[in-house]
Chain A
Amino acid sequence: MPNEPLIDALAADLAPVRPRRTGRELLALAGIGAVELTLVLLLGGARPDIGVAMLLPSFWWKLLGLAALSAIGVVTAVRSFEPASSPRRGLLLLALAVGFVLAVGWAIDGGDAVAMPLAERLMWRHGVDCVFRMAVLSIPAIVALGLLMRRGAPTDRRASALAVGAASAAWGAFVFAFNCPSDDPLYIAFWYCLGCAVVTLIGRLALPAITRW
């Protein structure tokens, strides 16, 4: 056996390890998410008119839609840190869910029938600020997921990185949704998609190199 010296070296001084469990990692992430959301809300991050906003369908569409997307993304990502499971099916489900959420938003928009020029509805100055905040709020998620990905053994690193990026993006946007004063589905669809795309792209480009094994 040519590899005997290597095997001896690996087996000598074998340190015990704790097997990773997907459920435990998801629980830890939920904890981090709960802390972040609580902090943001305690530090006055919630929009002042949140009581009124809660009466609008677009507020719930935004919140529930992003919560669902982020949940699908996180589960897909964490499961893929196990060598034998691929994130590709989860990513497909996530893409379908994005399409579904946008379609619901479109329906809500049609019901409201706002007659305003496009440029005014998009309020780009405000929108750029939204994108920035969303990205900042996604940092805890992308760091935590990135560390778990490094510790795990993802065998399709680019797809896992995409799942991590998308999950973090949706999470950041979800936290931001408590703060964002806009209820216009068009504004939300445009700027939230842009913000999520930026964070997803960062994850997709940066993570595969950092998580090589």
Chain B
Amino acid sequence: MSDGGDWGALMAAAQAGNGGAYRRLLAELDIWLVRYYARRLPAAVADDAAQEALIAIHAKRHTYDPARPFKPWLVAIARYKWIDRLRTMARQPETELPDTLAVSDHEQGVVGAIVLAELLASLKSAQREVIRLVKLDGLSIAEAAARTGQSESLVKVNIHRGLAKLARIVEERGDAE
């Protein structure tokens, strides 16, 4: 995996209009981003987030200063889009995962988004539990309500508050990659 040195050179070439260098760079960044979000978001939205980050990198490519290291620039954008995605998920607590992606086995769902799962530890148990069930394991709101004994509206509120809090935590806490 590149430490960002060649990526910086490729981006500098891309800024000058070199499409070939840019294509190579984006292909490598794509792999990096897919991995990055797989550890930080539910599988159902991770690929989407990677795509969005690619588009953001494209739109903001002029903000990379070739005199500086590339990796912190990339991480800052990836992290920004991660927080953005957590906020979007918080706004739509009832959006359920597509059936095909739902993982019924509890452990398996959590292992994927390992950084997210670690962060969940800092939430209250009522919030942590329903976010795990609905957002990582793919249960419906009703199923999560039955499983936890919370009412359906309480499940939604707890998902909303919990994810909003996670977004805040990530934002406050500096760059621990």
The A contact surface, by secondary structure, is loop
Tell whether, in the assembled complex, residue B55 and residue A10 are in contact, meaning their CB atoms are under 8 Å apart: yes
Considering only residues 1-41 of chain B, those with a C-beta below 8 Å from chain A are: 12, 14-20, 22-23, 26-27, 30-31, 34
Residue in A3, A21, A151 whose CB lies within 8 Å of B50: A3
Task: Name the B residues within 8 Å of A20 (CB-CB).
Answer: 62-63, 65
CB distance from A95 to the nearest CB of B (A): 17
Task: Name the B residues within 8 Å of A153 (CB-CB).
Answer: 56, 60, 63, 77, 80
Which of A6, A14, A18: most chain B CB closer than 10 A? A14
- Tell me, yes or no, whether B171 is within 8 Å of chain A by CB: yes
Number of interface residues of A (CB under 8 A): 30
Q: How far is the CA of A12 from the CA of B23 in the complex (A)?
A: 8
Task: Name the B residues within 8 Å of A18 (CB-CB).
Answer: 15, 62
Residue in A2, A10, A21 whose CB lies within 8 Å of B26: A10
Tell whether, in the assembled complex, residue A84 and residue B19 are in contact, meaning their CB atoms are under 8 Å apart: no
Considering only residues 1-50 of chain A, those with a C-beta below 8 Å from chain B are: 1-4, 6-8, 10-21
Task: Name the B residues within 8 Å of A156 (CB-CB).
Answer: 171
Return the chain A residue nearest B79 by Cβ.
A155
Tell whether, in the assembled complex, residue A155 and residue B62 are in contact, meaning their CB atoms are under 8 Å apart: no
How many residue-residue contacts, CB under 8 A, span A and B? 89
Task: Name the B residues within 8 Å of A6 (CB-CB).
Answer: 51, 54-55
CB distance from B166 to the nearest CB of A (A): 16
Q: How far is the CA of A182 from the CA of B26 in the complex (A)?
A: 59
Tell whether, in the assembled complex, residue B61 and residue A17 are in contact, meaning their CB atoms are under 8 Å apart: yes
- Tell me, yes or no, whether A152 is within 8 Å of chain B by CB: yes
Q: How far is the CA of A152 from the CA of B62 in the complex (A)?
A: 8
- Tell me, yes or no, whether A213 is within 8 Å of chain B by CB: yes
Task: Name the A residues within 8 Å of B76 (CB-CB).
Answer: 83-84, 155
Task: Name the B residues within 8 Å of A83 (CB-CB).
Answer: 60, 63, 73, 76-77, 80
Q: How far is the CA of A82 from the CA of B27 in the complex (A)?
A: 23
- Tell me, yes or no, whether B152 is within 8 Å of chain A by CB: no
Tell whether, in the assembled complex, residue A7 and residue B23 are in contact, meaning their CB atoms are under 8 Å apart: yes
Tell whether, in the assembled complex, residue A3 and residue B51 are in contact, meaning their CB atoms are under 8 Å apart: yes
CB distance from A105 to the nearest CB of B (A): 33
**Given known A-B contacts A11-B22, A153-B60, A16 and B17 have beta carbons under 8 A apart:** yes
B 132-169 to A, binary, CB cutoff 8 A, 1 in contact else 0? 00000000000000000000000000000000000000
Return the chain B residue nearest A159 by Cβ.
B171
Tell whether, in the assembled complex, residue B19 and residue A14 are in contact, meaning their CB atoms are under 8 Å apart: yes
CB distance from A115 to the nearest CB of B (A): 48
Considering only residues 70-86 of chain A, those with a C-beta below 8 Å from chain B are: 81-84, 86
Residue in B19, B50, B75, B80 whose CB lies within 8 Å of A11: B19
Tell whether, in the assembled complex, residue B17 and residue A14 are in contact, meaning their CB atoms are under 8 Å apart: yes
Q: How far is the CA of A81 from the CA of B68 in the complex (A)?
A: 15
**Given known A-B contacts A14-B18, A83-B73, A8 and B23 have beta carbons under 8 A apart:** yes
Return the chain A residue nearest B77 by Cβ.
A83
Tell whether, in the assembled complex, residue A155 and residue B77 are in contact, meaning their CB atoms are under 8 Å apart: yes
Considering only residues 39-59 of chain B, those with a C-beta below 8 Å from chain A are: 47, 50-51, 54-56, 58-59
CB distance from B9 to the nearest CB of A (A): 13
Q: How far is the CA of A2 from the CA of B38 in the complex (A)?
A: 14
> Interface of A with B (CB < 8 Å)?
1-4, 6-8, 10-21, 81-84, 86, 151-153, 155-156, 213
